[in-house]
Amino acid sequence: MREDKGILALNAFDPSRVSTMDAGLRDAVQRRLRSFGSASVLFYQEPIRMERADGVWMFDTEGRRYLDLYNNVPSVGHSHPRVVEAIRRQVGLLNTHTRYLSDVVDTYAERLLATFPPDIDQLVLTCTGSEANDLALRVAKLATGRTGFIVTETAYHGNTAAVTDVSPSSRPGQPLPPHVRTVPAPDALRAAGGDLGKSFATNVGRAIAELEQSGVGFAGLLVDTIFSSDGVYADPPGFLAPAVQLVHEKRGLFIADEVQPGFGRTGAALWGFARHGVVPDIVTMGKPMGNGFPMGGVATRTTLLDRFAAETKYFNTFGGNPVAAAAGLAVLDVIADEGLINNAQEIGGHLMNGLREIGNRHIQIGDVRGSGLFIGLELVRDRDTKAPAPDIANEVINRLRYRGILIGAAGPFGNTLKIRPPLCFTKDNADMFVAACDEVLREVCPA
């Protein structure tokens, strides 16, 4: 039985608790609610008033520091001095749209495109990952002449109207739009043995057939290449390849959503799709692209972009502005100069080993999975039945918060801790987190 309450409901603050808070925090929460109302989203049973951040640490208004394992936006570290300086310098020179030639914009585009396979040779810059995915859907529909898309059951791809339609976790309990089909996440923990890649491709094939039979037609498969909202599924490397091959055989497009796994987070390469040995037709980017400065993008093949541009005159006023390009260049430089892809692989492996070790004494740890510094720690009631334990996960998250550690949840039941710290995370940081998890699980689930 699914209990998907939506991605924003996981560990969300309950406004009915306002009256139980001390006066200062209560006033701050009520101030937020007066302006943002029911659209406000705050985390934790007791929200945090943040003031500043540096590297892997965030600091509240009382000076308490928190180890950040949740926020993948500042991928190279909060307030990284090279990114800050690049933004400061460029905003003091020029910040405008891309209707004028600007060396920093063109240099960034060339540097970014050089990280992709040769077939992916053109770029459109946006302000957010949501805009990027929205544009990708439009390109795919025009290129194929069809409108049907396939996503995973708990996918999240953004928040425009079109992208919300292909984000089941944003519309819990609502029927799928007629042009959307879902397939189960590639969950090796609950798979009944066999070839995971083959079974995922079989499910995709079944969804393609349904779209074709309905008259909608099949335009593309859109997946986050580490399946983060579904609960983080990375292995075995290569399992996506059979599904991508089938997509192309059926004249559809493969859209790789790299908003979360991109820019070195998986520790294997700059892009999550590289672990699977596939070349997407369209790649979408966002969040970590500017290390906190809003930017996104779509990288694709010339033929696809030409087909789109022939019918649609797309222009994004702030997409690719010079300040964003400067931030993006600084991020690419820091990733390369500080060896952050290798660091993600090394520290991620160390962290997973530590979590597996404490799993030997905590039966609630049902699985530790992921790649690099994108890890899922699934909490269960029973390792035999693998019954999800979202209540344990929620208690662990909130107790870690009081220990100065920030983390979130994922998956249809919200029972998987989603671990994605800045890429400058160290062994000492990892050991601190593992020790805290060990202590909290002893408290929550005493033997």
> Each residue's pLDDT tens digit in the chain (447 positions)?
445 555 656 677 777 778 787 888 888 888 888 888 888 888 888 889 999 999 999 999 999 999 999 988 999 999 999 999 999 999 999 999 999 999 999 999 999 999 999 999 999 999 999 999 999 999 999 999 999 999 999 999 999 999 999 999 998 889 999 999 999 999 988 876 789 999 999 999 999 999 999 999 999 999 999 999 999 999 999 999 999 999 999 999 999 999 999 999 999 999 999 999 999 999 999 999 999 999 999 999 999 999 999 999 899 999 999 999 999 999 999 999 999 999 999 999 999 999 999 999 999 999 999 999 999 999 999 888 899 999 999 999 999 999 999 999 999 999 999 999 999 999 999 999 999 999 999 999 886
Residues 410 and 276 in one domain: no
| Structural domains counted in the chain | 2
Residues 285 and 367 in one domain: no
Residues 214 and 134 in one domain: yes
Asked, for residue 26, whether it belongs to a domain, the answer is: yes
The domain of 248 spans: 81-337
Asked, for residue 1, whether it belongs to a domain, the answer is: no
Asked, for residue 2, whether it belongs to a domain, the answer is: no
Of 216, 266, 213, nearest in space to 240 by CA? 266
CA distance 233 to 188: 8
User: 307 with 142: CB under 8 angstroms?
Assistant: yes
CA distances from 268 to 4, 272, 418 (A): 31, 8, 19
Residues 134 and 154 in one domain: yes
**What CATH number did the domain enclosing 65 receive?**
3.90.1150.10
Measured between its terminal Cα atoms, the distance across the chain in Å is: 28
Residues 378 and 396 in one domain: yes
Buried b (16+ CB within 10 A) or exposed e, 403-430: eebbbbbbbbbbbbbbbbbbbbbeeebb
Examine the fold and report which residue of 314, 337, 360 is the final residue of a domain before the chain moves on: 337
Q: What residues pair up with 368 in beta bridges, in sequence order? A: 377
Residues 421 and 332 in one domain: no
Examine the fold and report which residue of 337, 352, 381 is the final residue of a domain before the chain moves on: 337
**What CATH number did the domain enclosing 110 receive?**
3.40.640.10
Residues 186 and 141 in one domain: yes
Q: Which residues contact 34 (CB under 8 A, 6 or more apart)?
A: none
Residues 318 and 402 in one domain: no
Examine the fold and report which residue of 315, 337, 359 is the final residue of a domain before the chain moves on: 337
Residues 145 and 278 in one domain: yes
CA distances from 300 to 153, 254, 391 (A): 25, 11, 42
Residues 17 and 92 in one domain: no
User: 49 with 56: CB under 8 angstroms?
Assistant: no
Residues 363 and 325 in one domain: no
Residues 183 and 281 in one domain: yes
H-helix segments, 229-321: 241-249, 302-311
In the numeric block, the tokens 């439009």 are attached to 138
